[in-house]
Amino acid sequence: MNETANKEVTPSLLRYIYPDDWDYKKKEENPIDAEEIVEAIKNGKEVEIINAVIEGPFILKSVNVESKVSIQQTKIRGPLDCSYSTFKKVLSFENSIFETDATFISVLVNKDIVLNNVTFSGVANFSDINVTGIFYSRSATYKKQTIFVMGDFKNRIELDKSKFEGEVNFRSARIGNNAEFIGANFKKGVIFNSSNIEGSAFFKSAIFEGEANFGSTQIGRNAEFDEVNFKEKLIFNNSHIKKSASFKSAIFEDEINFGSTQIGRNADFLKSYFKGLVIFNSSNIVGSAFFKSTTFEDEVNFVRARIGINAEFTEAYFKGKAIFNAIQIGGSAAFFPATFEGEANFGSTRIGSDANFAGAKFKGEAKFGNTRIGGNAMFIGADFKEKVTFNSTLIQRESHFEKTIFANDVIFENTSFETIYFGEPETQFNAKIDLRGCIYNRIFPVSFWEQLTKHLDPYDRQPFTQLEVTFRRAGMDKLADDVYYEQRRLESAQKTLCTTPGAWLLDRFLWLVTGYGVKLYRLGLLIALILLFGTIVFNLEGAVKPVEQILEMQMPLHLSYMEAFWVSLNTFLPIEISSGTNWIPSSNIIRVLGIRTGIKVTTVATLLELAGWIFVPIGIAGISGMLKRQNNTR
């Protein structure tokens, strides 16, 4: 290396190149006066300085710089102020050190500005800067406040792996292409609110140790924040990302706020970790939202959010409240097998296609009230530890609850299903079920109705009516009758002889005689016994006498069993039949084994007639179904 500095001064050039082997002390002993450089620039000279030390204030305000300025590997010891100047060619301070403030307020750079590996020891102020070319500042160090407020960058900016030890402010800045901050480290707060990035924003592997504010930011393409670590609050509310947003494997150690944010395509938070409050209320994701294998340690708020296609929360873990009420999902919602340790609120949710919660674990209360699901609802193997509500929910296709465990109360009040599936285990329901107003077209397996009605609380007639109608529509009349019988049995248990004696007696009578209209074999057996009794009585000697006006000869007074049966049947029926009309009951006293009973045959006949007037209409009503219809209209 040369042992002396390479200095060249011509009418068009000012050049200082110090040898690489000069130590700092050597360069300190041979400083360059900042005023000399300023005068050269003002005189239109090209400036090239390498490996030097510049002493004194570097004041270049309101200057029109026609030539290239390149100051590399140089320590600038005094303040630099280029405010309101115009640089028509490349401006470079690559690998240099600013020991005090560097000010570029309202500077216009027509070409590139190069600040790679630069160290700013004081405040770096680029407010209202206008750069036509590319802004390069890779691996730079900003030790104090860095200001880009109202900056206008026509092309991209590159600040990859840069370190910002003070606050960074890009408020209302405009970047015409990409903004690259890959691997950057922000020690203090970062402000991008109201900025406009017309290309993509790249922050992969960046670290934000202070609050990051991207509120009302516009990003024209993608926002990539994969593997980023946000140690304090992240604000993204009211922002607009025109394409996709990617935060895969990101770590959020404090609250994040995406309220009212617009994302034009997908939002991907795969394997991200949220330690603080998560707010997405009223956000709009036009594509799909991916939160697979994501952990939420605090409350999650998606109230009134809109997701245009699918919402994927497979294997997600919610340790706090999960509030999704009034969210609108255009496609499917996947929460299998998600875990909810706190309350899960999906009230008034709208899901255009399937909702899959298979294998999900709900350790807190789960709310699905007033939800609308356009496809299938899958809760296969789900586990509900606390109360779950589906009141006023509409599921337009199949609802699957096979192997689902309800450890606490379940509310299906006014819920509407198309087809509903239950199944193993037999102890799916361990507490109360509210089925008031619940309707469906089919239920499987059909035998499951017994478990449903066993846990029904509060009692209401409608769930039984719904089951009965469903089974009759499917041609399963026997099952429908069993459901109706169970309904009447439960209603009977609510009546007492002391409080409602009339209703209790009528209920007991209908139960005993007809099985509430669905066990008419009881009535048939009773009528058979009555007719048998009448046959035995009318078979006794002297029990009947001939009807004289239609008989011309005396008939025997001891009828055969067949003749006695016809007399018994004719007496029992409210209408007269031709058989058995030749005899009428006598007024003789009935003798049994020669012993007078004191009961006349006409008394038995009267009792037969009364029984006929009672039981024949009941039988007709039972056969026609009038008993059940009368009950269901009360």
pLDDT in tens, 242-270: 999 999 999 999 999 999 999 999 999 99
Higher pLDDT, 494 or 104: 104
Q: Which of 263, 352, 357 is nearest to 314 (CA)?
A: 357
pLDDT of residue 425: 58
Highest mean pLDDT among 43-47, 449-453, 455-459, 613-617: 43-47
The boundaries of the domain holding residue 597 are 521-620
Quickly state the pLDDT bin for 523 (edges 50, 70, 90): confident
Q: Where are the beta strands (DSSP E) in 260-337?
A: 262-263, 267-268, 273-274, 278-279, 284-285, 289-290, 295-296, 300-301, 306-307, 311-312, 317-318, 322-323, 328-329, 333-334
Whether the pLDDT of residue 556 is over 60: the answer is no
Assigned domain for 466 exists: no
pLDDT classification of 494: cutoffs 50, 70, 90: confident
Nearest to 16 by CA among 1, 38, 31: 31
Indicate the pLDDT class of residue 580, thresholds 50, 70 and 90.
confident
pLDDT band of residue 503 (cuts 50, 70, 90) is: confident
DSSP-assigned letter for residue 22: -
Average pLDDT over residues 267-296: 98
Whether 297 has a pLDDT exceeding 70, the answer reads: yes
Q: What pLDDT does residue 75 have?
A: 97
Q: How far apart are CA 514 and CA 624, in angstroms?
A: 13
User: How high is the mean pLDDT of the chain?
Assistant: 92
Residue 599 domain-assigned? Answer: yes
Whether 50 is in a domain gets the answer no
- Residue 307 confidence class, pLDDT cut points 50, 70, 90: very high
pLDDT of residue 455: 80
What pLDDT sits at residue 628? 65
Residue 550: the pLDDT is 47
539 inside domain: yes
The reply to whether 536 falls in a domain is: yes
Q: Is residue 221 part of a domain?
A: no
pLDDT band at 461 (very low <50, low <70, confident <90, very high): confident
Total number of domains constituting the chain: 1
Q: What values do phi and psi take at 584, rounded to 5?
A: -130, 155
Residue 364 above 50 pLDDT? yes
Tell whether 596 is covered by a domain.
yes
Helix (H, G, I), strand (E, B) or coil at 419: strand
Burial class from Cβ neighbours inside 10 Å (0-12, 13-18, 19+) for residue 195 reads: buried
327-336, 402-411, 486-495 — which is least confidently predicted? 486-495
Please report whether residue 138 resides in a domain. no
pLDDT band for position 598 (cuts 50, 70, 90): confident
Write the pLDDT tens digit of every residue in 325-356: 999 999 999 999 999 999 999 999 999 999 99
pLDDT at 5 over 70: no
Taking residues 471-498, what's their average pLDDT? 82
What pLDDT is attached to residue 548? 65
